[in-house]
Amino acid sequence: MSALRQALADYFAVRRALGYKLARSEKLLAQFLTFMDGRSETHITTETALTWATLPNGGRDWAFARLSVIRRFAMHMRGIDPKTEIPPTHLLSRQPHRATPYLYSPADIAALAAATDTLLKPHRAATLRTLIVLLSVTGMRVGEAIGLDRGDFDVVNGVLTVRNTKFGKSREVPIHPTTVTALRNYLHRADRPRGLSDVQPLFISEVGTRLQYNGVQQTFRRVVHCAGLKTRSASCRARLHDLRHGFAVNTILDGYRAGGDPKGRIALLSTYLGHVDPGSTYWYLSAAPELMSLTGERLERHLGGAA
């Protein structure tokens, strides 16, 4: 193993100890080092990094992402190898374009649940319907939900244990008794397929395997079409992930409606959603007109009282 590849292995060991998974970064950096080997180079240079990042296999955003991965590794390497060059941040840029959250109304969620009946196989329909409902009342990530095993569902105490989440952490998610009942009924369906391994997933496919992320997304898009949910703008279309946005917004809205201080809910919500940084939680609260209206009304009352 070359010194550079050993340094790469050490780099990932350190970052994964901090909770990062870095599967894509590992793949990209391995490809970059192979590219360097082909050029007989042993030190990272800006020119080589830029050449590899802009190879014709993706657009501008993809090149930016590839160069960013190299830059982070180069910053690590600079302390080991003074000949390392760190690519400047201005070399490539991209336009920020986060999708606008599609905030579902209760009627929208009911329409989605009803539209699952258009799926031909009853168990498949029940699986997606139960998944949609679970995501809407817990704000879990899609990957977290389909990664649950039967053993992660504590029926007695009404708790789901989410393991190895986005940042390598686990957390317990308390759920409402009605959600417990819905999950229990789903698990005890007479047409539930037999699992193909000793580890039994909570959500199971028609062939007895764990659901796959891409397959779930594809089926959800079909259900959205059948439910008649229309795209609201070029950046706002119904996505499964937006059920997480809706849960976050509704949690804070409930705090405002109850007349209490919603600030205290932010920390609890951040923990419940599995966020490392509360700033990520605030992003989930954006683009909600009703929430902005209630915030404005509270500010006006505060300013009026201070006058």
- Structure confidence by residue, pLDDT tens digits, 230-281: 998 887 899 999 998 888 888 777 766 666 666 667 777 777 787 766 666 6
CA atoms within 13 A on the CB side of 71: 14
Q: Name the residue among 223, 194, 197, 198 with its Cα closest to residue 206.
A: 194
Least confident of 66-75, 149-158, 190-199: 190-199
Considering the candidates 5, 241, 282, 298, report the single residue annotated as catalytic.
241
Instruction: Please indicate whether residue 244 is annotated as part of the active site.
Output: yes
Q: Tell me if residue 272 is catalytic.
A: no
**Cα 266–Cα 270–Cα 273 angle in degrees, nearest 5:** 135
pLDDT in tens, 7-47: 999 999 998 887 778 889 999 999 999 999 999 999 999 99
Average confidence score pLDDT of the chain: 85
The one catalytic residue in 244, 245, 256, 265 is 244
Maximal C-alpha separation, the chain: 72
166 catalytic residue (yes or no): yes
Contacts of 234 (CB under 8 A, 6+ apart): none
**Active-site position among 166, 171, 221, 237:** 166
- Smallest CA-to-CA distance from 297 within 253, 265, 245, 267 is with 253
Residue 43 annotated to the active site:
no
232 has catalytic annotation:
no
Full-model pTM: 0.66
- Residue 275 designated active-site: yes
Dist. CA 67–CA 147, nearest whole Å: 31
pLDDT at 17: 85
Share of the chain above pLDDT 90, in %: 57
- Token pair belonging to 8: 């790469």
Q: Is 9 left (phi over 0), alpha (psi -120 to 50) or beta?
A: alpha
Check: CB of residue 268 under 8 Å from CB of residue 252.
no
Q: Is 60 exceeded by the pLDDT of residue 51?
A: yes
Q: Would you state the CATH architecture of domain 101-307?
A: Orthogonal Bundle (1.10)
